[in-house]
């Protein structure tokens, strides 16, 4: 398993932001229409308040009884994704959406501009094994990333797997899962569309030939190739739950040995990791995706020892990293902001654990053994700091970062003298850096050539009071010289869940918005990890309403301070963030003019019944529990749409290949809002039959899709394209 890799908070995250937020940069003006401008310049903008009626959706009421409370679901039939009726409904909705968006002026100009900025060279973080560097890279004229290998830091790049040549539609992508210690064998997965599931392949790097071992398409949670390349430990999700297996290379996969997982239900996630020298296998059991409880098990592989518990029965988060014959445990056990413990695997009893990095002011987000030391990633006021410690806990140095921003990924090995990390902030595109421990020096390994000059913009971190008086931070980005007169189009985003921090990061969405004169705001809501586990717990289960309160307070702050006004404010959220904006639009519809709700959770009374949503019950709760039903019913967006209310204009985004958050949420909510909202403002659904949570949309298709999203926002905020 390629450990110490912080996942992008995009579709690759467990519940992360959608990829399209990382793929937009334009210089289209958001300035108001100039009086006397020729129609040929500005185009004829249709009224944002008078749109054609949507297609009618039939109502088939189903009544559920939750502990004496009867709840009517008028669109249960839309849950069946494969039925002929649902497929016709999707086609009708796409035709309606296309009719509304494709008629907007300036789309061709948007596409032409986007093509220049989306079609740029891009690269992902490298991983070094045996003096070879493995990474994914995409050239400006390619739709998908290609898997490369480089011998040495300055050697030529050799393409290993190019999905662009394998799929004429360019909707298949490659995912590197693990590389053997000597760099001679890799496990990579091929993903179709935006599915989470992959079809694995084993590739002999030197010969370029694939091994005969054939693994089925599945959701693989971890992969570790043994140092001698004789076998592989992997975990995957099965209907009965996730399980850990051992595969002997060259044998039938159907005979793989079940190592661990029997007795655990489908609500837990189980992964594994093999020590660099192959002696120990670590197995981690996560009770839900929010990280509130973890078990750690250890097996001495070299001596074929039994699997023994290292951490069990503690209601806290633990993450394990091998360091020779020791192990670092990052945990929030008795330390809400995190601490690091050192375990001697020859004497692993709890009484022998040592605190090497105590809890401090910053929140520990990640730890990585590197060069016989320990690198700790701190979050301080929602920004990153990297610090290097000895195994005794002595602070050695901070790794210098280019600005106030966020470390997105980190890659290192216990036995290597180098590390790689990616860094970005709102006005600085994500670059990859190499840190040399012997020289204590940082250099740029790769930097994108994106035509955006961050020196022209301001990043402010402001604090506002939420409904209960808690002060919550928010980053606000805008062009220098902005007048706070309430006239500016503003785009507000947030996430607020699963212990995921909202930190400064470059998205071309934000860059496009501020470059065109708009205000971009990103709120660090409760439910994330910005200020430790207490901040997370303040926004989960029965406290979830505080996340929505924080987001609503953020919108009110932007309006009260003159950054924008309700008629000029749009909100965007994806996945858990889709739930966020869904709750905001149903609770305070007058605060917002436009909403983009992507890959969302919206029916919180039934979410746990579909796909992998059982992993999220520890974060949200379940309507199967009477106490939890009460608070879920109180905020669930689908159950809280009121007939005749003037809701904001809404654009829902989802697709068939979302195998994480069931697309039925967006389908049902679209139908309900179209039927019950006061007429006039558009309620639209863009349903891509290939799109999903894990990306995979070709760059050429992104150009069209994103242009339509921005045209929708410009249209509804009264900011026509110049």
Regions of the chain short of the pLDDT cut 70? 1-44, 720-722
With CA atoms as reference, report the closest residue to 133 among 416, 422, 323. Answer: 416
* Claim to verify: residue 102 and residue 192 sit in the same structural domain: no
Task: Give a yes or no: residue 294 inside a domain.
Answer: no
pLDDT the model gives residue 43: 54
Task: Give a yes or no: residue 546 inside a domain.
Answer: yes
CATH number at residue 670: 3.40.50.1820
* Claim to verify: residue 188 and residue 53 sit in the same structural domain: no
Task: Give a yes or no: residue 625 inside a domain.
Answer: yes
Task: Give a yes or no: residue 613 inside a domain.
Answer: yes
Task: Give a yes or no: residue 456 inside a domain.
Answer: yes
- Please calculate the CA angle 79-85-91 and round it to the nearest 5 degrees: 95
Domain stops at, among 232, 259, 275: 275
* Claim to verify: residue 93 and residue 149 sit in the same structural domain: no
What global pTM score does this model have?
A: 0.93
Indicate the burial class of 441 (C-beta count within 10 angstroms; 0-12, 13-18, 19 or more).
Answer: exposed
Task: Report CA 384 to chain centroid distance, whole Å.
Answer: 18
Q: What percent of the chain has pLDDT over 90?
A: 84
* Claim to verify: residue 493 and residue 525 sit in the same structural domain: yes
CA distance 491 to 493: 7
Indicate the burial class of 89 (C-beta count within 10 angstroms; 0-12, 13-18, 19 or more).
Answer: buried
Task: Give a yes or no: residue 109 inside a domain.
Answer: yes
pLDDT the model gives residue 5: 31
CATH number at residue 243: 2.130.10.120
Domain stops at, among 259, 275, 291: 275
* Claim to verify: residue 552 and residue 668 sit in the same structural domain: yes
CA distance 293 to 151: 41
Task: Give a yes or no: residue 447 inside a domain.
Answer: no
* Claim to verify: residue 525 and residue 585 sit in the same structural domain: yes
* Claim to verify: residue 138 and residue 94 sit in the same structural domain: no
* Claim to verify: residue 670 and residue 617 sit in the same structural domain: yes
The number of distinct structural domains making up the chain is 2
Enclosing domain of residue 573: 19-31+46-116+452-716
Task: Give a yes or no: residue 6 inside a domain.
Answer: no
Residues belonging to the active site: 575, 693
* Cβ atoms < 10 Å from Cβ of 609: 15
* Claim to verify: residue 92 and residue 139 sit in the same structural domain: no
Q: Is the dihedral of CA 355, 357, 363, 368 positive or negative?
A: negative
The label of the residue with tokens 């039938």 reads 252
* Claim to verify: residue 480 and residue 562 sit in the same structural domain: yes
Domain stops at, among 275, 309, 341: 275
pLDDT the model gives residue 44: 66
């Amino acid at each position: 398993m390629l450990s110490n890799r912080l996942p992008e908070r995009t579709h690759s995250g467990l519940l992360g932001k959608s990829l399209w937020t990382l793929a937009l940069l334009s210089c289209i003006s958001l300035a108001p229409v100039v009086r006397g401008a020729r129609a040929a310049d500005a185009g004829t903008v249709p009224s944002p308040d008078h749109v054609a009626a949507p297609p009618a959706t039939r109502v088939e009421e189903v009544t559920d009884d939750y502990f004496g409370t009867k709840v009517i679901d008028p669109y249960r039939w839309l849950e069946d994704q494969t039925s002929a009726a649902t497929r016709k409904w999707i086609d009708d909705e796409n035709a309606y959406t296309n009719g509304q968006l494709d008629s907007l002026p300036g789309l061709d100009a948007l596409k032409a501009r986007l093509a220049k900025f989306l079609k740029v060279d891009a690269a992902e973080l490298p991983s070094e094994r045996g003096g070879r560097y493995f990474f994914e890279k995409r050239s400006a004229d390619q739709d998908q990333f290609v898997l490369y290998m480089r011998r040495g830091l300055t050697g030529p790049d050799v393409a290993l797997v190019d999905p662009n040549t394998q799929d004429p539609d360019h909707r298949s992508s490659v995912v590197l899962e693990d590389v053997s210690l000597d760099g001679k064998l890799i496990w990579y997965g091929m993903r179709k569309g935006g599915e989470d599931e992959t079809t694995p392949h084993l590739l002999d790097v030197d010969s370029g030939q694939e091994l005969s071992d054939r693994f089925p398409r599945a959701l693989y949670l971890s992969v570790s190739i043994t140092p001698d390349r004789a076998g592989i430990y992997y975990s995957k999700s099965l209907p009965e739950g996730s399980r850990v297996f051992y595969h002997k290379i060259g044998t039938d996969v159907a005979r793989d040995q079940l190592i661990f997982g029997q007795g655990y239900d489908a609500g837990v996630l189980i992964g594994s990791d093999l020590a660099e020298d192959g002696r120990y296998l670590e197995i981690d059991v996560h009770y839900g995706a929010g990280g509130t409880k973890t078990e750690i098990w250890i097996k001495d592989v070299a001596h074929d020892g039994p699997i023994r518990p290292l951490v069990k029965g503690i209601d806290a988060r633990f993450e394990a990293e091998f360091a020779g014959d020791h192990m670092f445990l990052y945990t929030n056990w008795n330390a809400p902001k995190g601490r690091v413990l050192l375990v001697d695997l020859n004497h692993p009893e709890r009484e022998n654990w040592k605190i090497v990095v105590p809890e401090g002011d910053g929140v520990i987000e990640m730890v990585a053994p590197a060069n016989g030391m320990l690198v700790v990633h701190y979050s301080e006021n929602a920004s990153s700091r990297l610090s290097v410690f000895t195994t005794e806990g002595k602070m050695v140095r901070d790794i210098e970062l280019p600005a106030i921003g966020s470390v997105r990924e980190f890659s290192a090995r216990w036995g290597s003298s180098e590390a790689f990390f990616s860094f970005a902030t709102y006005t600085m595109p994500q670059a990859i850096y190499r840190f040399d421990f012997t020289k204590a020096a940082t250099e740029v390994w790769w930097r994108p050539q994106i035509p955006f000059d961050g020196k022209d913009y301001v990043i402010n971190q402001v604090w506002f009071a939420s409904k209960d008086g808690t002060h919550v931070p928010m980053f606000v980005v805008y062009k220098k010289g902005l007048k706070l007169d309430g006239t500016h189009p503003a785009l507000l985003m947030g996430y607020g869940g699963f212990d995921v921090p909202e930190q400064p990061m470059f998205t071309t969405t934000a860059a496009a918005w501020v470059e065109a004169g708009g205000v971009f705001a990103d709120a660090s809501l409760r439910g994330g990890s910005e200020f430790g586990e207490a901040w997370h717990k303040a926004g989960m289960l029965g406290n979830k309403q505080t996340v929505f309160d924080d987001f609503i307070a953020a919108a009110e702050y932007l309006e009260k301070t003159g950054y924008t006004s309700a008629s000029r404010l749009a909100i965007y959220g994806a996945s858990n963030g889709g739930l966020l904006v869904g709750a905001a639009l149903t609770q305070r519809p007058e605060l917002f003019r436009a909403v983009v709700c992507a890959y969302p959770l919206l029916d919180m009374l039934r979410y746990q019944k579909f796909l992998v949503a059982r992993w999220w019950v520890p974060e949200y709760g379940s309507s199967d529990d009477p106490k939890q039903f009460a608070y879920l019913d109180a905020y669930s967006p689908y159950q809280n749409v009121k007939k005749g209310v003037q809701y904001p204009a809404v654009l829902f985004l989802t697709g068939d290949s979302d195998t994480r958050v069931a697309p039925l949420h967006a389908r049902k909510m679209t139908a309900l809002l179209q039927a019950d909202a006061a007429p006039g403002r558009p309620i639209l659904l863009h349903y891509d039959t290939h799109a999903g949570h894990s990306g995979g949309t070709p760059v050429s298709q992104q150009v069209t899709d994103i242009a339509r999203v921005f045209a929708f926002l410009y249209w509804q905020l009264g900011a026509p394209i110049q």
